[in-house]
Chain A
Amino acid sequence: MFVDRLKCNEAQELASLWMDQQIPLLKRIRLNIHLLLCDMCRNYVRHILLIRQIARQAIHKIDFWEDSKIGMTALAKERIKRKLKGLSVERGAENSHRKDSL
């Protein structure tokens, strides 16, 4: 069976798609043939897979994000503290009411 060779941009699009969903067998074969023959697209696939491995670690490295130096405003922190305190008091009152009624 004759299989058309993919162009580089098509191969890269397909490789990216393959990271998110299954692709049909014939397309996988065409992509693999292209990757066998094309250094540049092999690198492309290697790079995007490497970046995915990196990105999956990003959750643990958020402190190194420069924007993070700004942090939450003191005002916002105070507001949330007040909110939680109010909620704790309400819950405390609910609990004691529950105990009383038992």
Chain B
Amino acid sequence: MKDQEPISKKTDPNQWIDRYGNLLYRFALLRLRNSEWAEEVVQETFVAALKGIRSFEGKSSESTWLVGILKHKIIDWLRKIQEQKNMGSLEEAETLSAEGSGEQFNLDIRHKNSWPKTPERLFEDKEFWSTFYKCLETLPERYRTVYVLREVDGLESEEICKIVGVTKTNLWVLLHRARNQIRHCLAVKWFDQSKSN
């Protein structure tokens, strides 16, 4: 009998868009940087969720379940874009060298005492998160994509290489430059102003 229930009792699709639409949209927008694409993957996510609604057992929250589906949709979308661009490694290497090394961000941060030893106190600071996201936005598109996949989503390097179509060496270069820029940005906009102390 349970299998024939039209809709899971643990979740109500009629409420999804109002409850989670914006959250999922932000999540997608941060990773895709294109509002139309973000809306598209959110729609795909809700459709997939509705089709697989019986698999939702209520063990995690609705939002966690939906974000889990969205993550896969975003990865599929990034792969699709990559296929369309059909970027070869030669073109990629040329772009990487032309974009500048980002090394100017490496050596100029000496304010060791202004950075906290542990991050916990920052986690509840709205102003800090706003700064963090502003710093993410300053990254060039490709830096941001790989940085978010690796450092925010915690995907393994091999997986990211497949998704965005870069070699391991170029991924490492992109990540290193992105880390330097984020560090520099957070130093200038937050830690050097001793906001964490």
Name A's B-contacting residues (CB within 8 A).
8-9, 12-13, 16-17, 19-21, 39-40, 43-44, 46-48, 50-59, 61-68, 71-73, 76-77, 79-81, 83-84, 87-88, 91-92, 95, 99
How far is the CB of A45 from the nearest CB of chain B, in Å? 11
- A47 vs chain B, min Cβ distance (A): 5
Contact partners of B89 in chain A: CB under 8 A? none
B137 proximity list for chain A (CB < 8 A): 67
CA A83 – CA B18 in complex, angstroms? 14
Indicate if the CB atoms of B115 and A8 lie closer than 8 Å.
Answer: no
Task: Give the number of residues in B that approach A within 8 Å (Cβ atoms).
Answer: 61
Q: Are B17 and A80 in contact (CB under 8 A)?
A: yes
In the complex, what's the smallest C-beta–C-beta distance from A42 to chain B, in angstroms? 8
The answer, yes or no, to whether B22 is at the interface (CB within 8 Å) is yes
**CB-contact partner of A47 in B4, B17, B183, under 8 A:** B183
What chain B residues lie within 8 Å of A53 (beta carbons)?
118-119
| B122 A66 Cβ-Cβ under 8 A | no
Is the C-beta of B83 less than 8 angstroms from some C-beta in chain A?
Answer: no
Closest to A56 in B: B154
Q: Considering the complex, which residues of chain B in the window 123-137 have a beta carbon less than 8 Å from any beta carbon of chain A?
A: 123, 126, 129-130, 132-134, 137
**Is the CB–CB distance between B50 and A87 below 8 Å?**
yes
- The majority secondary structure among interface residues of chain A is helix
Report the separation of the CA atoms of residues A16 and B146 in the bound assembly, to the nearest whole angstrom.
14
Asked if B172 contacts A20 (CB within 8 A), the reply is yes
- Asked if B182 CB lies within 8 Å of chain A CBs, one says yes
A81 to B17, CA, bound (A): 7
A50-B116, A76-B39, A95-B6 in contact; A66/B17 too (CB < 8 A)? no
- On whether the beta carbons of A84 and B129 are closer than 8 Å, the reply is no
Instruction: Tell me if B106 counts as interface (CB < 8 A to partner A).
Output: yes
Q: Which residues of A contact B46 (CB under 8 A)?
A: 80, 83-84
In the complex the two chains form, is A62's CB within 8 Å of B26's CB?
yes
User: In this complex, what residue of A is CB-closest to B13?
Assistant: A84
* A40 to B22 CA separation, bound complex (whole angstroms): 42
Shortest CB distance B35–A (Å): 8
5 contacts between A and B (CB under 8 A): A19-B179, A48-B179, A83-B46, A84-B17, A91-B6
CA separation between A19 and B179, bound complex, in Å? 11
Contact of B22 among A44, A55, A66, A72 (CB under 8 A): A72
User: Do B4 and A8 touch across chains, with their CB atoms under 8 A apart?
Assistant: no
Rounded to whole Å, the gap between the CB of B22 and the closest CB of chain A is: 4
Bound CA span A47–B175, Å:
15
In the complex, which residue of chain B has the Cβ closest to the Cβ of A60? B123
A59 touches B107 (CB 8 A): no
B67 at the interface (CB under 8 A from A): yes
Among B16, B47, B106, B152, the residue within 8 A (CB) of A58 is B152
